[in-house]
Amino acid sequence: MSFTPQTTATVASARSQTFGDLLRRTALRVPAKTAIIDGDTRLTYAEFDAAVNRTANALSAHGLRHGDRLALVSHNSWQYGVLAFATARLGVVLVPVNFGLGAGEIAFILEHSGARAVVTEDALAPTVTEALDLAGNEIVARGWIALGSGAAPDGWETVDDWARDGDPTPPTTAVGDDDPLRLMYTSGTESRPKGVLLSSKSLITQYVSCIVDGGMTGDDIEIHSLPMFHCAQMDCFFSVDVYLGATGIILRAPDPATVLATIESEQVTKFFAPPTVWISLLRHPDFETRDLSSLRKGYYGASAMPVEVLREMGRRLPDVSLWNFYGQTEMSPLATILQPHEQMSRAGSAGRPALNVETRVVDETGESVPIGEVGEIVHRSPHAALGYYGDEDKTAQAFDGGWFHSGDLGVIDSDGYLSVVDRKKDMIKTGGENVASREVEEAIYQLDGVAEVAVFAVPHPKWIEAVTAVVVPKPDVTVTVADVDAHVATVLAGYKRPKYVVIADALPKNPSGKILKKDLRVAHVDIANT
């Protein structure tokens, strides 16, 4: 059956379901409900929707068009949420940038993405200005988010003015459900970061999986404290809340005292954080004094929750149901989920594939490995990214055989539960034997007094790679190298035991709370020679 182009276009418009549509539809359903709380700023869904339209029209007036890129460098704020939806309504591709990067690193992203607009917060403006000078992009719009007291300098306009002044009429740009909307730069390790392209189709099918398998509803009141430049906070939680009509409380960072106080004051029901942040809450003195009784749903990701910490959370937060979300940016980012009733019986597992995902574990030829054997984790799903921007070779490699290759090593058991053994680059090969860093970490967490631990490989003249552990004791607790050595001797085979143990005050982490093992490898690269 064929129609005229005009009829085809009108039917497509009537069937539209893009990221930019979600907020408008929620605002029509629950216009007076609180959408965003950010300090003294409170926006209803009707106000949020109008702010998005005004901002989109301001960007359009500067000449931004469908397919252009806007780079956003900022800590969390209500303006961040407005810009995410405003760009989507124009078909402009949002490029969220890690606010912890230096000028040279930001310049690479600006140049690689071809950004024609940039928005930054006042405190980061000097770094971003330097990056713009290095990149040399032609910039048609410069937006300023005033999180401090700094006024916008000449050449910059405040996002507040875009959002509060001007025309609230919805833009009429036609945006397809598989048009690129987001360009997410993965953190680089051995090479430059890759730009992951996500579309409305990728994102919305992922939202449905989060909602169904993650027990999410429009009644949720949720804290968003992990960086919104990362798709875990932005697309497993913040944008899902907007889709459902839930209330989101935006914090600049996951400061434990602030998080605990906000749970009490706003009667928060739902919170996401990596294990490192959950551990920081448990260790904070305010944990025992704040009223946390409203909290009902807890989510973690980025790494597995240590079993000993799971047990502690069960004792100290008995009314909180926990979910483990596993995935990565290229999956928008959810791939598998471990449900609340499975937390202890399947402790350490990443769960089973989410609603709209198929997952396999394969060998080097792409064939499924037998149950219980280690292989690379691959996925097939509409969650998957469109590919890597400007890099056909890496895209073809990542999607070889019609499956997205995660780069993670895992095992699937006879019941279909996935256990992530390690990243390929984190698997330690010592004396010809493979050692999973996570297995060693779990063993060390069993030692009383251990707050955090990271296990990684360092070069060794005899063993090629040596298992190395950096251990952080709990506050006011003494843990020695001898304590760790004696403990692991009782629970690990000899070749798995750390050859080097370092006691430290803290572990290096990125803004998302993920432990930076690459920094630890650099810091301790010569430990075998000392």
Contact 325, 301 (CB under 8 A): yes
**How far is the C-alpha of 456 from the C-alpha of 79, rounded, in Å?**
39
**How far is the C-alpha of 127 from the C-alpha of 67, rounded, in Å?**
26
Indicate the Cα dihedral angle 358, 364, 370, 371, nearest 10°.
Answer: -50
Q: Is the pLDDT of residue 424 over 80?
A: no
State the average pLDDT over residues 451-472: 89
Please identify which residue in the block is written with the tokens 């310049």: 107
> How far apart, in Å, are the Cα atoms of 466 and each of 128, 410, 480?
40, 22, 20
Q: Which of 15-29, 67-81, 115-129, 141-155 has the lowest average pLDDT? A: 141-155
What does DSSP say about strands 157-158 and 450-460: parallel, antiparallel, or unpaired? Answer: unpaired
Categorize the per-residue pLDDT at 353 as very low, low, confident or very high, splitting at 50, 70 and 90: very high
Tokens of 499: 């050859």
Tokens of 479: 């843990």
Contact 383, 332 (CB under 8 A): yes
**How far is the C-alpha of 467 from the C-alpha of 527, rounded, in Å?**
11
State the average pLDDT over residues 446-459: 92
Give 181 or 461, the one with higher predicted confidence. 181
Q: Which of 49-53, 194-198, 463-467 has the lowest average pLDDT? A: 463-467
Q: Is the pLDDT of residue 329 over 60?
A: yes
**How far is the C-alpha of 75 from the C-alpha of 149, rounded, in Å?**
15
State the average pLDDT over residues 75-101: 96
Categorize the per-residue pLDDT at 190 as very low, low, confident or very high, splitting at 50, 70 and 90: very low
Find the helix or strand (DSSP H, E) in which 377 lies: strand 375-380
**How far is the C-alpha of 184 from the C-alpha of 207, rounded, in Å?**
17
DSSP one-letter string for 12-58:
HHHT---HHHHHHHHHHHSTTSEEEEETTEEEEHHHHHHHHHHHHHH
Q: Classify the phi-psi angles of 351: left when phi > 0, otherwise alpha if psi is within -120 to 50, otherwise beta.
A: left
State the average pLDDT over residues 364-391: 96
Which candidate, 427, 420, 483, 489, places its Cα nearest to that of 455? 427
Q: One-letter amino acid identity for 390?
A: G
Categorize the per-residue pLDDT at 88 as very low, low, confident or very high, splitting at 50, 70 and 90: very high
State the average pLDDT over residues 398-424: 91
CA atoms within 13 A on the CB side of 451: 21
**How far is the C-alpha of 520 from the C-alpha of 454, rounded, in Å?**
9
In the chain, the percentage of residues whose pLDDT exceeds 90 is 78
**How far is the C-alpha of 458 from the C-alpha of 435, rounded, in Å?**
13
Mean per-residue pLDDT over the chain, rounded: 93
Contact 124, 11 (CB under 8 A): no
State the average pLDDT over residues 340-346: 95
DSSP one-letter string for 456-469:
EEEEETTTEEEEEE
pLDDT at site 517: 87
Q: pLDDT tens-digit profile of 200-214? A: 999 999 999 999 999
Which 3 state secondary structure label does DSSP give 405?
strand
Categorize the per-residue pLDDT at 351 as very low, low, confident or very high, splitting at 50, 70 and 90: very high
pLDDT at site 495: 82
User: What is the DSSP-derived secondary structure letter of residue 186?
Assistant: P
pLDDT at site 460: 85
Contact 92, 65 (CB under 8 A): yes
Q: Is the pLDDT of residue 189 over 50?
A: no
**How far is the C-alpha of 245 from the C-alpha of 225, rounded, in Å?**
19
Starting at the edge strand found earlier in the chain, the sheet holding 352-353 runs 41-44, 34-38, 247-250, 221-224, 270-272, 297-300, 321-327, 334-338, 352-353
Q: pLDDT tens-digit profile of 94-134? A: 999 999 888 988 999 999 999 999 999 999 999 999 999 99
State the average pLDDT over residues 464-489: 93
Find the helix or strand (DSSP H, E) in which 335 lies: strand 334-338
Give 418 or 104, the one with higher predicted confidence. 418
pLDDT at site 191: 54
* 3-class SS string, 75-98: CCCHHHHHHHHHHHHHCCEEEEEC
State the average pLDDT over residues 406-419: 94
Q: Is the pLDDT of residue 195 over 50?
A: yes
Q: pLDDT tens-digit profile of 17-55? A: 999 999 999 999 999 999 999 999 999 999 999 999 999
Query: Secondary structure of the chain: what % helix, strand, coil (to 5)?
Result: 35, 25, 40
* Domains within the chain, CATH numbers bracketed: 11-32+43-199 (3.40.50.12780), 427-529 (3.30.300.30)
pLDDT at site 186: 85
Q: Is the pLDDT of residue 461 over 80?
A: no
Contact 17, 200 (CB under 8 A): yes
Contact 336, 351 (CB under 8 A): yes
Length of the chain: 530
pLDDT at site 509: 87
